[in-house]
Amino acid sequence: MKIIRTTSAMADWSRRLHREGVTIGFVPTMGALHEGHRALIRAARLACDAVVVSIFVNPTQFGPTEDLSKYPRQLRLDQALCRKEGVDVVFAPTTETMYPAASQTVVTVPAMARRWEGEARPHHFQGVATIVTKLLSLVQPDNTWFGQKDYQQVALVQQLVKDLNLPGDVVVHPTMREADGLALSSRNVYLSRPQRQAAPVLYRALQAGAAAIRAGERRGTHIQRHMTRVVAAEPLATIEYLSVCNPNTLEPLSALHRQAVLLGALRIGPVRLLDNVLISFRRRPSRQM
């Protein structure tokens, strides 16, 4: 397995492999790799000839009050996981390499970035869009894997790739969960034992929303109420948002037709938990007269 540290070496490697007709699968990460990342790497391994994993804690997607310095960093362990999974290249650039002092350009996807996570973290998605643009330009993948857990990020990246004709198809992998339903996340390590016990409430709330839809409920506010009721019973959780949205635009839906995504963010102790459930359904049958 090759460790690449500079942008020029990364671009050279990809150019060479493409010349040789090798397909490249890409998994962008901020490290602290867990089973969710492992599943993305395995999917990339199956689909492409060579796999690149980037490990870069991107400073521009952290807000001033979010502690970038405390984000979990474990490059050696991450490299060991990648080696075990047959990754060809770990691209682990320094901040100075990715953002030289003179760099100015940023990328924004304004409508996608405005709501939900964007309200709590105003510059977050500009940071994500900028780094993803840079990574895709360097790695030149045939396919790039993202986890469904960060639904808004995935929707924004899909828009970005389409708008800027960036290389590769975006492949979305289902969210990996603990046995009690908690979505895997590098940030779960910050939860204390009681907070960890409380954390699955988010998935339970989303499931309650999905169950209401399956039972025939089509009014957005009523579905939201089902979800809110579940979280209200958990004293350690504070709701940031629980919403019923159009899966493509992420605009809130007042009435549902065929597909919806239920998006949720809760604060439990020091952690903002994110999760979502995508649900497809038939129109409610019209009553027989």
Q: Which residues pair with 264 in a beta bridge?
A: 242, 275
CB of 35 to ligand PAF, least distance (A): 15
Residue selected from 14, 26, 28, 175 as contacting ligand PAF according to rule CB under 6 A: 28
Query: What is the chain's alpha carbon radius of gyration, rounded to the nearest angstrom?
Result: 20
Check residue 82 for interaction with ligand PAF (CB under 6 A).
no
* Cα-based angle 7, 65, 106 (whole degrees, multiple of 5): 35
Q: Does 30 bind ligand PAF (CB under 6 A)?
A: yes
Does residue number 58 form part of the binding site for ligand PAF (CB under 6 A)? yes
Using the rule CB under 6 A, is 118 a contact of ligand PAF?
no
Strands, sheet with 237-245, edge to edge from the N-terminal-most edge strand = 237-245, 259-268, 271-280
- Which pairs with CB-CB distance under 8 Å and at least 24 residues apart come from 220-226? 220/244, 220/252, 220/253, 220/254, 220/255, 220/256, 221/254, 223/256, 223/262
CA distance 194 to 71: 21
Out of 150, 176, 200, 203, the only residue in the binding site for ligand PAF (CB under 6 A) is 150
Q: Applying CB under 6 A, does 93 fall inside the site for ligand PAF?
A: no
Determine if 271 is a binding residue for ligand PAF (CB under 6 A): no
Q: Is residue 273 near ligand PAF by the rule CB under 6 A?
A: no
Q: Is 48 in the site for ligand PAF (CB under 6 A)?
A: no
**CB of 180: closest distance to ligand PAF in angstroms?**
23
Amino acid at 92: A
Active site (annotated) includes residue 37: yes
CB-nearer residue toward ligand PAF: 28 or 209 = 28
**Residue 226 C-beta-side C-alpha neighbours within 13 Å:** 21
d(CA 10, CA 20): 16
Ranges within 129-148 binding ligand PAF (CB under 6 A) = 131-132
175 binds ligand PAF (CB under 6 A): no
Q: What positions carry a catalytic annotation?
A: 37
Which residues are near ligand PAF by CB under 6 A? 28-30, 58, 61, 128, 131-132, 150, 153
